[in-house]
Amino acid sequence: MQVLQAPSSPHLSIQTSKPPHLTWGLLPSVSVNSSPFSTLHFSLHSQKDQRLLWSPHKRFTSRAASVEDAVGDSSVSTGTAEGDVLKALSQIIDPDFGTDIVTCGFVKDLQIDEASGEVSFRLELTTPACPIKDMFEQKANEVVAMLPWVKNVKVTMSAQPARPIYAEQLPAGLQTISNIVAVSSCKGGVGKSTVAVNLAYTLADMGARVGIFDADVYGPSLPTMVSPENRLLLMNPEKKTIIPTEYSGVKLVSFGFAGQGRAIMRGPMVSGVINQLLTTTEWGELDYLIIDMPPGTGDIQLTLCQIVPLTAAVIVTTPQKLSFIDVAKGVRMFSKLKVPCVAVVENMCHFDADGKRYYPFGRGSGSQVVQQFGIPHLFDLPIRPTLSASGDSGVPEVVADPQSEVSKIFQNLGVCVVQQCAKIRQQVSTAVTYDKSIKAIKVKVPDSKEEFFLHPATVRRNDRSAQSVDEWTGEQKLQYNDVPEDIEPEEIRPMGNYAVSITWPDGFSQIAPYDQLQMMERLVDDVFEPSVQA
């Protein structure tokens, strides 16, 4: 899987003995689909206004940061023993991203004893549920053992500590959870809770630390579907926090475990209860928190999406047309909230009898969701009495019969969720970065192939917060000359899947949505000397 924190910004190599003569320009506001390399720009000819900007499409990524991280010495070259080992390991490519494990930063604690031919190192993955961790370990042993001077190889596997991309912005209870996945249908009775529970226990079986949050206060399903020994949530009297109950190693929180049964209360009260249950629970370190969303797209669902940084969503539907109509509303809600939908599960699709396959509720709802909204993966669940019975008995199907056909479908779904979450986190963590070598902010919005550069001063001047623009009159309070041309950001942090937080030298923290960054004037290269080669 991909690393949570990518290596430092790519360094651009210029094969020339003298500095190239480059000027920069500003590309006027462009649409999202327009090319960032358009030649239309405002030329700035004065010496004061010149900036160096390497061409975004003429560069290659340096592995220096990954090598230093692995061996702790920036002086390592490919002619040394360390260089031989790293070169061998760079043959192992992550199949999801097409990048080698050295560049990904997986290689840690490399130690070499040339006299005895001993080599040891650690491969640190992003999640203990990585579906190809055994392959990584086996290949790493093989490629290093092939070096002529190596006699013994010791590889240890580990995973990064559980943490969200931007823990500082979250309630204390959510600061040690790597991925929060919503399972949603926006329609009752389609098997959403069944999918949520079985997905959670599948991820746990893959080696991940998992929790389930039942967000349906009006009709909680979790107390029926699992049977923990302790069926009541406990309160930590000193911290005023909630201690979740557990079943088969998975942490559980539901209003049904609060001793209240089902709630009879108005919407705002429900939102408050959900907020309290979710944010004040001592979840501890979790790789995945599965949220079983309640039906609908109202205040409760929006509150959940605003409280927690959802990594991704899994959509559950059934073959009926009515189900598709409701599910489509949910997909649009997640789209507006910039939450990627990574998979569709079509439940109760078919059953087999007399050597034939029957589709009692019709066909095509799941495929229609995938095609209309571009969701990459579709999983069909058959009608199985055991799946329903296991939910009613308090033992999830994947726990009761791990080798069943249904369990294998959930295993494939689990692999998909792990891979897609890692990909999303990688894209978000590297979406907006600052390259000191060229003094430009690089932007590559998730799920977009477009990459472009912005001048830091342009970004700072385009702040639309109340400190920069009067909320009532729309008057611009931040003037052009208030921002120095040579300003540089001190820190850039992701803010969910929709924006970044940029800290400037004056202490101001600017929230910059991706949509806004895409509409700003862009830096473009102007003149390249023939001697410059990328």
Spatial separation of the C-alpha atoms in residues 45 and 359, rounded to whole Å: 70
365-402 in b/e form (b: 16+ CB < 10 A) is bbebbbeebebebbbbbebeeebeebbeeebbbbbbee
- At residue 354, the 3 state secondary structure works out as coil
Decide if 181 contacts 288 (C-beta within 8 A): yes
Structure tokens at 463: 């702040």
DSSP assignment of 231-260: -S-EEETTTTEEEPEEETTEEEEEGGGTT-
Q: Which of 28, 23, 16, 15 is nearest to 43 (CA)?
A: 23
Amino acid at 166: Y
Closest CA to 181 of 96, 286, 268: 286
Angle at 85 between CA 84 and CA 87, to 5 degrees: 65
Beta pairing, strands 42-43 & 93-94 = unpaired
Phi, psi of 441 (to 5 degrees): -95, 120
Q: How far is residue 253's CA from residue 242's CA, in Å, rounded to a whole number?
A: 9
The whole-angstrom separation of Cα 323 and Cα 49 is 58
pLDDT per residue as tens, the chain (534 positions) = 433 333 333 332 323 333 333 334 444 433 333 333 333 333 333 333 333 333 333 333 334 444 445 544 333 333 488 888 999 999 998 876 678 888 888 899 999 988 899 999 999 888 888 888 888 999 999 999 999 999 999 999 988 877 777 656 678 888 889 999 999 987 777 888 999 999 999 999 999 999 999 988 888 889 989 989 888 888 888 888 999 999 999 999 998 888 765 556 666 777 788 888 899 999 999 999 999 988 876 677 777 877 788 899 999 988 887 778 878 888 888 888 888 999 999 999 888 888 898 888 887 778 888 888 888 898 999 988 888 777 778 899 999 999 999 999 999 999 999 999 988 888 888 889 999 999 999 999 887 778 899 999 999 999 988 889 988 888 889 999 999 999 999 999 887 778 888 999 988 999 898 889 999 999 875 433 444 444
CA-CA distance, 235 to 16, in Å (whole number)?
Answer: 66
Which helix (H) or strand (E) segment holds residue 183: the answer is: strand 177-184
Which own/partner contact pairs does 506-514 have at CB distance under 8 Å and 24+ positions apart? 508/463, 508/467, 510/459, 510/460, 510/463, 510/465, 511/465, 512/432, 512/459, 512/463, 514/338, 514/431, 514/432, 514/443, 514/445, 514/446
H/E stretch holding 428 reads helix 405-429
End-to-end, the C-alpha distance of the chain in Å comes to: 30
pLDDT of residue 45: 34
Task: Give the list of residues 6+ apart from residue 405 with CB closer than 8 angstroms, or none.
Answer: 382, 384
CB 311 within 8 A of CB 424: yes
Pairing of strands 286-292, 177-184: parallel
* Residue 512 and residue 458 in contact, taking contact as beta carbons nearer than 8 Å: no
Q: Which of 315, 303, 271, 332 is nearest to 181 (CA)?
A: 315
pLDDT for 364 equals 73
Q: Where are the alpha helices (DSSP H) in 75-177?
A: 81-89, 101-104, 133-145
Q: How far apart are CA 114 and CA 141, in angstroms?
A: 17
User: What is the pLDDT, as a whole number, of residue 66?
Assistant: 46
Query: CA-CA distance, 361 to 351, in Å (whole number)?
Result: 11
Q: What pLDDT does 93 receive?
A: 85
Q: For strands 245-247 and 250-254, give the pairing.
A: antiparallel
pLDDT for 456 equals 95
| Cα–Cα distance for residue pair 441/523, rounded to 1 Å | 9
- Beta bridge mates, 316: 345
Q: What domains sit in the chain, N to C, each tagged with a CATH number?
A: 2-48+437-533 (3.30.2020.30), 61-159 (3.30.300.130), 173-429 (3.40.50.300)
Q: At 342, phi and psi to the nearest 5?
A: -100, -15
Q: How long a stretch of residues is the chain? A: 534
For strand 509-513 and strand 499-503, is the pairing parallel, antiparallel, or unpaired? antiparallel
pLDDT at 265: 63
176, 162 in Cβ contact below 8 A?
yes
- Tokens matching residue 78: 């490919």
Residue 317 makes CB contacts below 8 A (sequence gap 6+) with: 185, 187, 190, 323, 324, 327, 344, 345, 346, 347, 365, 366, 369
What's the DSSP call for residue 18?
S
